[in-house]
A and B are shown apart, each in its own frame.
Chain A
Amino acid sequence: MSKDRFSANNEIASPVIEVSNFDFYYGSVKSLNSVNMKIKPKTTTAFIGPSGCGKSTLLRNFNRMNDLIEGTKNEGDILLHGESIYRKDLNVTELRSKVGMVFQKSNPFPMTIFENIAYAPLKKGIKKRSSDLTDLVEESLRGAALWDEVKDKLHKSALGLSGGQQQRLCIARVLAMKPEIILMDEPCSALDPISTMKIENLIAEIEKDYTIVIVTHNMQQAARVSSYTAFMYVGELIEYNSTTDLFSNPVMKQTEDYITGRFG
């Protein structure tokens, strides 16, 4: 075999995130097994694989959301700009405002649309009722292609929006934080095709400014939105390559079986 199944790791020269020999345990169950990968800045990377393969677990380690679950532990390291996110003096809340996250199920807070977007900026010290804040809210909503739909009801409850709008609101909420990286954990799995398309277009739109890592069950989606794709299976990174290569010319048999729909 001349081709490397991790050729993406060789191609990416200055990664924003670098995972090295990373193991992760839920209690005594090992769910990630010595993962090594690099994430390219200002690009979209997709994680695919069958349920329970560890792709969400890996994603949720990038902003240490797994800290919230009791009884987890990890070995190896994850580096953000070359610095460990597991070092002792790291401020986790700061990490999370640099690495934003969009969840599988949209979770706007039961507040107004404006308050939802303003939630993170207000904590960073932007003054309430300042024009900076209103500008930022508008910019974020425009960034998430939601402005035109909600500009007349900014002060109505966010829970009145449709599922797709709510998910874009969650993206806008993350954008308002001005993060570097946006993690998306199956963001379209609860949405209809039109809403899904809107979110995919949105990803293509913001990709030039943000590093996006997306977990998806939908291989067409991965093919559509990402430049690099990682295939994972039972806690291991099986293959990591540019999306075109991985889908057209998979190196590993498991990858081929999965993308051709033989299992998963």
Chain B
Amino acid sequence: MKLEKTYTYLLAFSMLCIILMVLGIFTIVAMNGLPYFWLKNVAKVEMTDGKVYYGEIAGVNPKAENGSETKLKVGNRKIYGQDFLRIKDSEIKSVSYPKEIIMLERDEWGNAYGIISDIGGKEFDNIHSSVMEDKKEIMSLEKGRLLSINEEISKLNHRITKKSETGLEEKLEKLKTESAVIETDLNSKREQALIKTFSLVLADGQIDELKYYDIVKKYQPNDVSLAGKIWISVKGFFEFIFADPRESNTEGGIFPAIFGTVILVILMSIFVFPLGVIAAVFLSEYAKEGFLVKLIRNTIYNLAGVPSIVYGVFGLGFFVYAMGGSIDRIFFSDYLPSPTFGTGGIIWGALTLAVLTLPVVIVASLEGLKSVPHMYREGSYSLGSTKWEVIKDVVIPNAMPGMLTGLILAISRAAGEVAPLMMTGVVKSAVALPFDSSFPFIHLDRKFMHLGFHIYDVGFQSPNIEAARGVVFNTTLILLIIVFALNLTAILIRNRIRNKLSRSGV
């Protein structure tokens, strides 16, 4: 009796450890990431030698080599060369937080801190918002109409030079004129926008002439109330999710990476689920049990243990080069030697992940099929069903929860894989998404961004790692949330079906 209790405690303890580990990972990531959305006050630091800095105090290291040091985020890499300065505490004369200090988020060179003296706050905002509107228009023209015209022109050029088709010159000329008109329009718009500048008084009294065009956002952190700061943080979090990255991914948002990850996993599920289920149905219902079937089944079990990088190499060789290359030779020969499908793309990444997760789906589906009560099959046969009808009406619906369990495991595994994707199409920066408004709307040949790769790239390959810490942790947090959400969706679907199949669902 006593021993029994000990065992119960042991089980409870193991369970507790697992829960703590999961919560621990979430908490550590969230604690390291979320504070980056908080708008920190900007300090004015005066040094004993007369130098003055504006910046956010990012941390104090009391055990540095030469006495206590303060890490100050001064931004403005154009002036300081780096985002962070380390200053000795012993050399600091005073620290104050003047209300008029402005923080500017910019497209490049990091944040700028200073004081705007030549123009009022309201006026600044008015000019800035009108410039931003122009900028948006310019961007959408560049990405939209101009891009598609240029694509069309290059297609026409191919047809004229390679296939010597005639009668296309007129159309070509028309397109070229249109493109030129848009380009001129763009240039004048851009010039008009770029001409507008203002001056920022930096900490040391220097005046920096800045273009409105480069400013993403203006804050006056020392003059914002607590409620205002909370609002800005929440907004910052959503901007992080829905904005494109800036400054080689260390600033801005991660939307293309989120989109790439989700689409990749969905595509993978579309490929792997039917294939896995069909294979499992064949193996369990049709194949005659013998040496060959046993061999195949055991091979499938073993495939689940193959390192993912091996699948990556396979994907590169088979999907990208062999399949993509063939597609290019047959359908896109005009464009060779520049590849269309014969290079990494989201479809090849998804197919590689599908191969990677196929064993999981097959094994789970086989278990699901095995668990269908024999009496259901008998019942269906006795009502005059053919074998296929029995499988379709009774066996597969009843095995569905097991099959979906396989899909859930596959999604968990696929969402976190990075290695095979690095060979089959993931890139550091791909602002053009696999789905957009330009014909044919779905571009499965496009390269894509991925949260897992983003973590690796920003965290370890970025030129400005210190400034990117927040992005790394928050990207990790989002990846965890997305894996969780995808899993939850699949689990909810499975439970709905399971309820329908059991007594409790009445």
Q: Which residues of A are interface residues toward B (Cβ below 8 A)?
A: 63, 65, 68, 93-94, 96-97, 100-101, 103, 105, 107-110, 119-120, 123-124, 156-157, 159-160, 170, 173-174, 177
Contacts and interface: CB of A to CB of B under 8 A. Distances in A.
Contacts of B385: 93, 123
The interface centre, meaning the residue of A109, A120, A173, A174 with most chain B CB atoms within 10 A of its CB, is A109
B295 interface: no
B393 interface: yes
Given A157-B500, A160-B503, A174 B375 contact: no
Contacts of A108: 379
B486 interface: no
B384 interface: yes
Contact of A177 (B375, B384, B394, B506): B384
B217 to A, nearest CB: 56
16 contacts: A65-B382, A68-B377, A68-B378, A93-B385, A97-B383, A100-B382, A101-B382, A103-B379, A103-B382, A107-B376, A107-B378, A110-B376, A110-B502, A159-B503, A159-B505, A160-B506
A93 B386 contact: yes
B381 A65 contact: yes
A236 to B, nearest CB: 26
Contacts, number: 69
A61 to B, nearest CB: 13
B368 to A, nearest CB: 14
Nearest to A97: B384
Contact of B382 (A96, A123, A156): A96
A63 B398 contact: no
A10 to B, nearest CB: 32
A56 to B, nearest CB: 12
Given A103-B375, A107-B376, A107-B378, A173 B503 contact: no
When A and B form their complex, which 5 residue pairs have the shortest distance between CB atoms, in order from nearest?
A: A97-B384, A160-B506, A107-B375, A101-B382, A107-B379
Interface in B377-403: 377-386, 389, 393-394, 397-398
Contacts of B500: 110, 157
The interface centre, meaning the residue of B373, B384, B397, B500 with most chain A CB atoms within 10 A of its CB, is B384
B381 A96 contact: yes
Nearest to B394: A109
Contact of B378 (A103, A119, A156): A103
B316 to A, nearest CB: 45
A177 B383 contact: yes
Contact of B393 (A97, A103, A119): A119
Q: By DSSP majority rule, is chain B's interface helix, strand, loop, or mixed? A: helix
Contacts of B381: 65, 68, 96
B384 A170 contact: no
Given A96-B381, A110-B500, 15 more contacts: A65-B381, A65-B382, A96-B384, A101-B382, A105-B375, A107-B373, A110-B502, A119-B383, A119-B393, A120-B383, A120-B384, A123-B385, A159-B505, A159-B506, A160-B506
A68 B381 CA distance: 9
A63 B384 CA distance: 10
Nearest to B386: A93
Nearest to A93: B384
B501 interface: yes
B402 to A, nearest CB: 14
A174 B385 CA distance: 13
Contact of B384 (A103, A123, A157): A123
Nearest to A119: B383
A109 B378 CA distance: 11
A166 B463 CA distance: 70
Given A107-B378, A123-B389, A157 B506 contact: yes
Contacts of A177: 383-384
Contacts of B379: 103, 107-109, 170
A156 B386 contact: no
A155 to B, nearest CB: 11
Contacts of A97: 383-384
Contact of A109 (B376, B384, B389, B503): B376
B375 A94 contact: no
Nearest to B383: A120
A224 to B, nearest CB: 25
A157 B505 contact: yes
A103 B380 CA distance: 12
A173 B378 CA distance: 14
B33 to A, nearest CB: 45
Contacts of B386: 93
A124 B385 CA distance: 10
A232 to B, nearest CB: 22
Contact of A94 (B384, B398, B505): B384
A174 B376 CA distance: 14
Contacts of B382: 63, 65, 96, 100-101, 103, 174
Nearest to B397: A110
Contacts of A160: 503, 506
A109 B392 CA distance: 13
A174 B383 contact: yes
A170 B379 CA distance: 9
The interface centre, meaning the residue of A96, A119, A120 with most chain B CB atoms within 10 A of its CB, is A119
A215 to B, nearest CB: 14
B383 A110 contact: no
Nearest to A98: B384
Contacts of A110: 376, 397-398, 500-502
A93 B373 CA distance: 21
Nearest to A95: B384
A25 to B, nearest CB: 20
